[in-house]
Structure 1
């Protein structure tokens, strides 16, 4: 058996380089449309939940004290609350349209492939609906 020199052995045992894992591209939740859709859906859902909680509490006041109920209802007639109604309608509209988008992603095979396009469709539909609502609401709030 021929003996090999130390230099020859070192050349045969080259240390492999370790590469960091490649970040997957095109997944749903990586700072792109899918992630923003997820974040907006959670924010609007929580906002709607708290609105419903307050709505149930203020409506239940009518049984406890009709005067307190009337006082609360009168605070809702202020311009600030009128602007709050715009925010509420915006949250409900975005949450509903994005919920339909999520249903399409979950139940149809092509949904995941086209989720980015559906996100932009949701945003455009939401903007169109708000464009129809906001001027009318502002006229109601500010007496136009």
Structure 2
């Protein structure tokens, strides 16, 4: 049974992340087109991005862009570097590590505003 090597997983993830980025592009076009209906409609549609589920989708987009970009560099290295195919497996793991290392601080920046209730001081009543 074929268990798949790093090249297959790299190819599959590259295609999936590319499709995810394309889907976001379509959503972004719809979002920007809301400007044509006036500033009130646009401002109301942008408030959607404050929901935590949309922030998770934005986080998935960031992860997809990071992986797709780093893997694109890996693909260019394989294509243009004479020894690239020899080191493609090592470069795959480097791509995954770089994606995770850059993703973690970005995840913090994107998700912390969604959990604003964690940083708010508890409500106190006067006279207690």
With normalisation by structure 1, the TM-score equals 0.74
Structure number with greater CO (CA < 8 Å, separation at least 6) is: 2
Deviation at 1:136, TM superposition (A): 2.6
Match of 2:125 in 1: none
Q: Unaligned stretches of 5+ in structure 1?
A: 1-29
Distance 1:92 1:67 in 2: 31
Corresponding residue of 1:96 = 69
| Distance verdict in 2 for CA 1:138–1:64, change over 3 Å | closer
Structure 2: any 5+ residue segments left out of the alignment?
120-128
Counterpart CA distance in 2 for 1:137 and 1:64 is: 28
Q: CA deviation at 1:32?
A: 0.5
- Answer 1 or 2: which has greater helix percent: 2
| 2:37 counterpart of 1:64 | yes
Cα distance, 1:137 vs. partner?
2.2
Partner-residue secondary structure (3-state), 1:113: coil
May I ask how many residue pairs the two structures share in their alignment?
Answer: 115
Provide Cα deviations, 1:54-106, integer angstroms capped at 9, x if missing partner: 10121011023333322211111111111111111101000000000001011
User: What is the CA RMSD across the aligned residues, in angstroms?
Assistant: 1.4
Measure the CA separation in 1 of the matches of 2:34 and 2:108. Answer: 32
Q: Which of 35, 46, 52 is the aligned partner of 2:8?
A: 35
Give 4+ residue runs of structure 1 displaced > 6 Å after superposition. none
Counterpart CA distance in 2 for 1:100 and 1:141 is: 33
